[in-house]
Amino acid sequence: MKLADLLDKKHIICNPKVSDKIELYNLMLKSCADELGNISQYSLLNAIAEREQLAPVVFENFALPHARIENLDNLIIALALFKDGFNFDGQKINFVIMILTSQEKSKIYLQTLRAISILFQNKQNVENLLKCEDCDEVLHYISALKIEVSDYVLAKDIMTAECATAKENMTIRECLNLMFKHELSGLPVIDDNNKLKGEISLTDILNIGILDYLKKIPNLAFLKKFEPFEELLKKENSMKVKEVMRQFAFIATPETSVIELAMAIVEKSMRRIPVCDKNKKLLGIVTRTDLLKKVIVG
């Protein structure tokens, strides 16, 4: 599917004369009136405002107000262009793209967002689009770009590529410092060639300090004074990450689907899933929060 096919020239507005955000939103919503049927303008604005409060919608020179709308069974994209810029919450931007989608997950929603950011992050595209005189020209230009929107989400779309990693020969102390610095409870472990070796979690490290026999006593309520970390403090400078790390229960490829990722998190109780290429080189990591931010809430 092409991005241009999801756009409708009715929904493209060039250089509207509006003074503020709400006026713009109203104008854009009006252009979509046919598709929106009897959904009230008020509830739409509300939904958009709510979403704006969750996370900022302004990126470089474009804003992406979006919302999931009850009783909407469609994906609607409205586009406004400002040749001379528009003051959006104090930031000067040239494009406002409004996306409305159904309450249930619209499969193409996330991919549409990706396609749009590809479109507007390219300086050449921005320049050429701002030269357009009317909506036909805009649509024509976008369709010539042939930006692809796939209707499914894969690991590569939601993974975090720049993730913190531990080296297998690090000491436990160094690893703990790294976790502390990044506020992470676990890290993928790699070797010098960026090859994935395993996973180290705070739980595994704490486990060093808990003596085996204590685990076999079901209730330690009587032991108020016992200090469990002596053992850990003794070993943290000599023990290496590779002695404590364990294997990931599931390793994703860039092409792994969201359902597989979700299954690994639910069924295998994983907190983070590594994404590797064929040679086990680590490409990125998908966490539960990635699924929350990039798929579920969107």
Contact call for residue 224 and other proteins (CB under 8 A): yes
What is the per-residue binding string for other proteins in 123-162, x denoting contact by CB under 8 A?
----------------------------------------
- Environment class of residue 209 by beta-carbon count within 10 Å: exposed (0-12), middle (13-18) or buried (19+)? middle
Contact call for residue 227 and other proteins (CB under 8 A): no
Burial 150-181 (b: 16+ CB within 10 A, else e): eeebbbbbbbeeebebbbbebebebbbebbee
> CB-wise, 17 or 224, nearer to other proteins?
224
Contact call for residue 216 and other proteins (CB under 8 A): yes
Of residues 22-81, those binding other proteins (CB under 8 A): none
**Helix 123-131 / helix 135-145 crossing angle, nearest 10 deg:** 150
- Judged by CB under 8 A, the stretch of 62-70, 116-124, 214-222, 246-254 that binds other proteins is 214-222
49/185 Cα distance (integer angstroms): 33
> CB-wise, 54 or 217, nearer to other proteins?
217
177/99 Cα distance (integer angstroms): 42
> CB-wise, 55 or 221, nearer to other proteins?
221
- Judged by CB under 8 A, the stretch of 133-141, 157-165, 170-178, 211-219 that binds other proteins is 211-219
* Encoded amino acid at 185, one letter: S
Number of residues near other proteins (by CB under 8 A): 13
How many angstroms separate the Cα of 227 from the Cα of each of 173, 202, 233, 239? 19, 18, 11, 20
> Pick from 161, 211, 263, 297: which binds other proteins (CB under 8 A)?
211
254/251 Cα distance (integer angstroms): 10
- Judged by CB under 8 A, the stretch of 54-62, 74-82, 114-122, 209-217 that binds other proteins is 209-217
The residues of the shown chain that bind other proteins, judged by CB under 8 A, are 211-214, 216-219, 221-225
